[in-house]
Amino acid sequence: MTEPLLELRGLRKAYGAIVVTDDVNLSVLPGELHAIIGPNGAGKTTLIHQISGTLSSDSGRVLFDGEDITHLPMHGRVLRGLARSFQITSILPAFSALENVALAVQARSGSSFRFFGDAAQEKALNEAAMEYLSMVGLAPRARVAAGLLSHGEKRQLELAVGLATQPKLLLLDEPLAGTGHEESLRVVETLQRLKGRITIVLIEHDMDAVFSLADRVSVLVYGRVIATDSPESIRANEEVRAAYLGEEEVV
Amino acid sequence: MPTAARLDLVPVAIFAVFAAAPFLASASGAEGYVLSLLTRVMIFGIAAMALDLILGYGALVSFGHAAFFGIGAYAVGILASHGVEDALVQVPVALAASAFFAAVTGAISLRTKGVYFIMITLAFAQMLYFLASSLAAYGGDDGLTLPARSLVAGSDFLENDYALYGATLACLLGAYILLRAVVASRFGRVLRGTKENITRMEAIGFQPFSFQLTAYVISGMIAGLAGCLLANQAEFVSPAFMTWQRSGELIFMVVLGGLGSLHGAIIGAAAFLLMEEFLPEILHAAGFFLNDDLRWRLTENWQMVFGPILILIVLFARGGIVGLLRRGHHD
Ligand SMILES: Nc1ncnc2c1ncn2[C@@H]1O[C@H](COP(=O)(O)OP(=O)(O)OP(=O)(O)O)[C@@H](O)[C@H]1O
Ligand SMILES: [Mg+2]
C-alpha cells in the first residue's frame, strides 16, 4: 500500500445547527486525480476551505505528506505543497497576468523581504511565470491586466498561479464553472497533461470532464462521503444515482 | 511606454521647483516667510509620503500617523532640554522610538481590519497625545521651546534658514528615492498584492501580517524623521503636533494628491498647506464686489470654503491631483 498524500480523519464543520462537513474520512493517493462530486450545497467548497486552511475545522484531522497540518495557517500549507483555486475567481486584478504568476513564483524562490531592486524586472521570476502561463495557454495575454481578462481566461490564470506555487497537491474548486466551450476544453486538456505529474483534487459539476479525467471519484451529499470508487463503479452505484445523478439527470 | 516616461516628469518637476524656490525667495524680499512656509510643505510632504506607503500601497488607513510627528519632535525637544543637541544622536533616537512605537502598536492594530484598524490607530495616537500633555517636565500642554536648532556633528549651520531648507529638501528627496525603491521591490510587490486581494496572497504562500507590519514600521520611521524636522522648523515642540486633526490632515493630503503614487502625497501636502495659507487672501480679493462687512466675514470664515473645495476635488478628481495630471496627458 502506498501512503496517501492527503488524509482526512473525522473532519467536521458546522454553522450553528447545520452540519456542513459531517465526519469526513478521505484518502487521496499520490499521483491520482481524485474528483469530488455532489449536489449544490453538499459542502464541497467548505471541505476545500478546511483542507486548504481557509476555514478551521471543528474537529478531526488533516494529514498531508505525513504531517498533521490541522492547525497550520493557509500560507504554511501552501509552502508545504498544498495549493488551491477558488470557486469564485480570486486574482490580483490590477496586476498583469504575468505578475500574478510571478508573485507566486516569488513566494517560492528566496526571501521576499528584499527592499531594493525592481521585482518586475527579475528575469528568473518572469521566465518561470511565462512557462506556467504557456502551460495553461495564456502566454499571449501575459501583459494584460488580470482584471481585464475574460472570465474563462481568469480561470486559466488561477490554474497557472496554483501551478506556480509548485504544489504536490492541487485543490481545484470548479475550474470549469462559467467558462465557454473552447476555454473549458483547454482547461480539461491542461488537466489531462498535468495528470500523474501532480496530485489533483477536482471539484466539478461538469460530469463529462469528471468521468474523463478522474482516477477515483468521491460523492459528497449533505456533508457526508457516501461513496469513493472508480468512475465506472460510481456511475453504476445505486445509492449515488438516487442521491445525486438521478436528480440532476446528467448526460 | 511613452506615458510612463512622461509621468516620471512630474516628480522631476516637483523637485526642480523645490530646488529653485530659495532663489526666488531671496528675490521676493520676504525670504524668511517663503522659506519657512515651503520647509513646512516639504516636511508634511515627507510625512504624507510615509503614510502613502501603507495607505496607498497597502490599503491600511492609519488615523494616527501624527503620533510619529510627535515622537520625532519630542525626541529632539527632550534630548535638547538635557543638553543633547546633535542631530546625529537625536535623529537615530527618534527613528528607533518611532520604529518601536510602530512595531508595538502595529502588531496590535493589524490584528483588526477596516474601521477597527482606523479606530485603534487613532486610539494609540490619542494615548500618546495625552501622555505628552501630562509631561509637566517638558512643558505639558504648552509644549517646550527649543533652545536652538539641532547641531549637525557639532556645527550649528541649521540656524541658517537656507540650510534648514536644504536639509529638509535632502530628506524629502532621500525619502522619495527610498520609498520608490521599496514600492517596486519584491517586498513592495507583496505589499501591493495584499492591497488587491489578501486571500489570494495567503493562497500563494505569503503571510500578509509580517509584510504589513514591516511597512508600518518603515512608514512610522519616515514620519518620525519628519517630526524631527518639524521641531527644528518651529523651534518648538508641543502635543498639538499629534492631535487627531493632524492625523486626518495627513490622510487628506494623500487622498488629495492621489493615493499610491508617492509624489502625489507631496503635491497633496503642498496643495493643502498653500490653500490653507492663501485662501483667506484669495477670498478677500475675490470678494471685491461685496460690501466691507460681508467681505470681512467671508475672509474670516475661509474654512467654510476650504472644506467644500477639498470635498469637490476628492469627489470629482478621482485619483486626486495626480489623477488629473494623468488624464490631461491622455487627452
Ligand atoms: N458562512 C456560512 N454560514 C452558514 N452557512 C454556510 C456558510 N457557508 C456555507 N454555508 C452552507 O453550507 C452548505 C455547504 O456550502 P458549500 O459552499 O460548501 O457547498 P458546495 O457543495 O460547494 O455547493 P456548490 O456546488 O453550490 O458550490 C450550504 O448549505 C451553505 O448554505
Ligand atoms: Mg462550492
> Domain range holding B147?
2-243
Domain contains B184: yes
Inform me whether the pLDDT recorded for B274 exceeds 50. yes
Q: What is the average pLDDT across B152-164?
A: 94
- pLDDT confidence of residue B323: 86
Sorting pLDDT into bands at 50, 70 and 90, what band is B3?
very low
Residue A24 half-sphere exposure toward CB, CA atoms < 13 A: 37
What is the mean pLDDT of the segment spanning B118-143? 95
Q: Using alpha carbons only, how large is chain A's radius of gyration in Å?
A: 18
Distance between CA atoms of residues A91 and A157, nearest Å? 8
Q: What is the mean pLDDT of residues B313-328?
A: 81
Tell me the three cell numbers of residue B29.
Answer: 524680499
Structure confidence at residue A241 (pLDDT): 81
The alpha carbon of residue A9 is apart from the nearest alpha carbon of chain B, in Å, by 23
For residue A87, the one-letter residue type is: Q
- pLDDT at position B28 is 82
Contact A164 B214 (CB under 8 A): no
Other beta carbons within 10 Å of A186: 20
Which of B186, B200, B207 lies closest to A106 in CB terms? B186
Phi, psi dihedral angles at A220 (to 5 degrees):
-110, 125
Q: What is the pLDDT of residue A1?
A: 61
Distance CA A190, CA B271 (A): 54
Asked whether residue B263 is domain-assigned, the answer is no
Please report whether residue B305 resides in a domain: no
In chain A, the residue whose alpha carbon lies closest to the alpha carbon of B183 is A115
Q: Which of the residues in chain A have pLDDT under 70?
A: 1, 244-251
Model pLDDT for residues B42-92, shown as the tens digit of each residue: 999 999 999 999 999 999 999 999 999 999 999 999 999 999 999 999 999
Interface membership of B1 toward A (CB under 8 Å): no
Distances (CA, A) of A165 to A15, A196, B15, B203: 31, 17, 42, 9
| Neighbouring-strand partners of residue A35 | A202, A217
* Mean pLDDT value of segment B210-225: 98
Q: Which atom in ligand 1 lies closest to the alpha carbon of residue A39? A: 25
In whole angstroms, give the CA distance from residue B231 to residue B76: 7
Query: DSSP label at A11?
Result: E
The HSE-up count of residue B253 (CA atoms within 13 Å, CB side) is 35
The percent of residues above 70 in pLDDT, for chain B, comes to 97
* A1-81+167-251: CATH superfamily: P-loop containing nucleotide triphosphate hydrolases (3.40.50.300)
The yes-or-no verdict on residue B191 having pLDDT over 60 is yes
pLDDT value for B214: 98
Residue B250 lies in a domain: no
Ligand nearest to the CA of A244: 1
Sign of CA dihedral B257, B262, B263, B266: positive
State mean pLDDT over B116-143. Answer: 95
Decide if A84 touches B, using CB distance below 8 A.
yes
CA A127 to chain B, closest CA, distance in angstroms equals 16
Is B53 within a domain? yes
Chosen from B179, B183, B186, B194 to mutate, greatest number of chain A CBs within 10 A: B186
- Point out the ligand 1 atom lying closest to the alpha carbon of residue A16: 4
Size of interface A-B (CB pairs under 8 A): 91
Calculate the CA dihedral of residues B244, B132, B76, B78 and round it to 10 degrees.
180
Query: Is residue B253 in a domain?
Result: no
Instruction: Note every long-range contact of B76-80, with CB atoms under 8 Å and residues 24 or more positions apart, other chains counting.
Output: B76/B146, B76/B150, B76/B227, B76/B228, B76/B231, B76/B232, B76/B237, B77/B138, B77/B143, B77/B144, B77/B146, B77/B231, B77/B237, B78/B138, B80/B146, B80/B147, B80/B148, B80/B150
pLDDT band at B7 (very low <50, low <70, confident <90, very high): low
**What are the backbone angles phi and psi of residue B126, rounded to the nearest 5°?**
-65, -40
Is the Cα dihedral A233, A234, A239, A242 positive or negative? negative
**Average pLDDT over chain B, rounded to whole?**
92
H-run or E-run covering B275: helix B263-286
Q: Which residue's C-alpha cell is 517586498?
A: B187
Residue of B184, B205, B214 lying closest to A119 (CB–CB): B184
User: What interhelical angle do B263-286 and B303-316 show, nearest 10?
Assistant: 140
Portions of chain A given CATH number 3.40.50.300:
1-81+167-251
Q: Would you say B176 and B18 are in contact if contact means Cβ atoms under 8 Å apart?
A: no
* Residue B27, burial from CB neighbour count under 10 angstroms (0-12, 13-18, 19+): exposed
Q: Can you tell me the distance from the alpha carbon of B326 to that of B317, in angstroms, rounded to the nearest whole number?
A: 11
Is residue B292 pLDDT above 90, yes or no?
no
Question: What's residue B303's pLDDT?
Answer: 81
Tell me the CA distances in angstroms from B139 to A207, B9, B144, one per residue in order: 76, 45, 5
pLDDT category at B1 given cuts 50, 70, 90 is: very low
Ligand nearest to the CA of A14: 1
Contact B184, A120 (CB under 8 A): yes
Residue A226 CB: number of other CB atoms within 10 A? 17
Q: How far apart are the C-alpha atoms of A164 and B279, rounded to whole Å?
A: 55
Secondary structure tally for chain B: helices H, strands E: 15, 2
| Of A190, A199, A170, A204, nearest in space to A33 by CA | A199
- Residue A212 near residue A188, CB atoms below 8 Å: yes
Closest CA to A171 of A36, A79, A63: A36
Lowest mean pLDDT among A178-192, B172-186, B230-244: A178-192
| Ligand that lies nearest to the alpha carbon of residue A205, given by its number in the listed order | 1
* Confidence band, pLDDT 50/70/90 cuts, at residue B326: confident
Cβ–Cβ under 8 Å, residues B36 and B161 = yes
User: How many Cα neighbours within 13 Å face the side chain of A63?
Assistant: 15
3-state secondary structure of A213: helix
Q: How far is CA A31 from CA A53, A69, A216, A225, in A?
A: 22, 20, 11, 21
Number of domains in chain B: 1
> What length does chain B have?
331
Evaluate if residue B197 carries a pLDDT over 90.
yes
Whether the predicted pLDDT of B225 surpasses 50: yes
CA distance B269 to A236: 72
Residue A70 is predicted with a pLDDT of 95
